[in-house]
Amino acid sequence: MERVARVARHVWRYICAAPGTYLWLLFLGLNTIALTQMPPRYRHWWLETHSTNLAELSHHPVKVLISSAFWTQTPSFLFWFVVFNIFLVPVERRLGTARWFGVVALAHVGATLISEGTVRLLIDAGLDSHREVFVLDIGVSYGVSGGVGVLVWLIDRPWRWWYLGVTAVFFVVLLASGTDYTNLGHLCAYLIGLACKPLTRGRADKGIDPAKVIRQVRQRVGKTQG
């Protein structure tokens, strides 16, 4: 019983160090459960009306820019739980909740407007179908991509440059292999995160050393088991 209480205290302290990330995950989890209970036709309508496609942006821009960040097109909460813990939790712990929110919000809104603006220009130029106006564009991935980008400046050298190279190649390949404009948004969100370097001033003096983090995790696991 004492061991369970010790583990619970460690988990609670870990959650409290990144409240924004875990509150976001809580809403995402509840909404994922709600999606699984909806009939397929109603689910598609719901996602469409909360999507940041051109049709919804032209009528309810503020509503969909906010609501689209709390739903996913497919029920994939476990995947996002892992991704949030790998990328967003370290960012919030290092930057604080206010700066973390600034990065995520800038990436989500900025990438949405850039990608959908590109779609609008191509449609008006006759280079793409008018059906793109109604394509679903919903989810947390733009905000997460911004977190992936800003995390570059919170990692110690030389790990920083390895991380920058791997993540940059990932987003470029994602864009090259994509069949829609969402991956353009992912790359833009990542670049917005990189551009948020000024927000890391005073918070990146002691960067994250992956090797040190692994050692600390092992030590904490050992303590909880002891």
CB-based contacts of 171, cutoff 8 Å, min separation 6:
145, 183, 186, 187, 190
**What is the DSSP code (8-state) at residue 206?**
S
Answer yes or no: is pLDDT of 217 > 50.
Answer: no
Encode pLDDT of 8-23 as tens digits: 888 889 899 999 999 9
pLDDT in tens, 46-73: 998 999 999 999 999 999 999 999 998 8
Distance CA 25, CA 85 (A): 10
* pLDDT value, residue 221: 45
pLDDT confidence bin for 210, thresholds 50/70/90: low
- Per-residue pLDDT averaged across 154-161, rounded? 92
Say if CB 28 and CB 80 are below 8 A apart: yes
Is 111 buried (19+), middle (13-18) or exposed (0-12) by CB count in 10 A?
Answer: buried
pLDDT digits (tens, 9 = 90+) for 95-144: 999 999 999 999 999 999 999 999 999 998 888 888 888 888 888 999 99
Q: Read off φ and ψ for residue 208, nearest 5 degrees.
A: -80, 125
Report the percent of the chain where pLDDT is more than 70. Answer: 88
Among candidate residues 102, 98, 222, 84, the one with its CA nearest the CA of residue 140: 84
The structure tokens listed for 140 are 């947390």
Lookup: tokens for 175: 């864009």
Domain 2-225 class in CATH? mainly alpha
pLDDT score, position 218:
52
- Say if CB 154 and CB 208 are below 8 A apart: yes
Mean pLDDT of the chain, nearest integer:
88
Residues contacting residue 47 through CB under 8 Å, at least 6 positions apart:
35, 71, 73, 136, 138
pLDDT above 90 as % of the chain: 66
202-208 long-range contacts, CB within 8 A, separation 24+:
203/94, 203/95, 203/96, 203/99, 203/154, 204/94, 204/153, 204/154, 207/153, 207/154, 207/155, 207/156, 207/157, 207/160, 208/90, 208/94, 208/154, 208/155, 208/156, 208/159
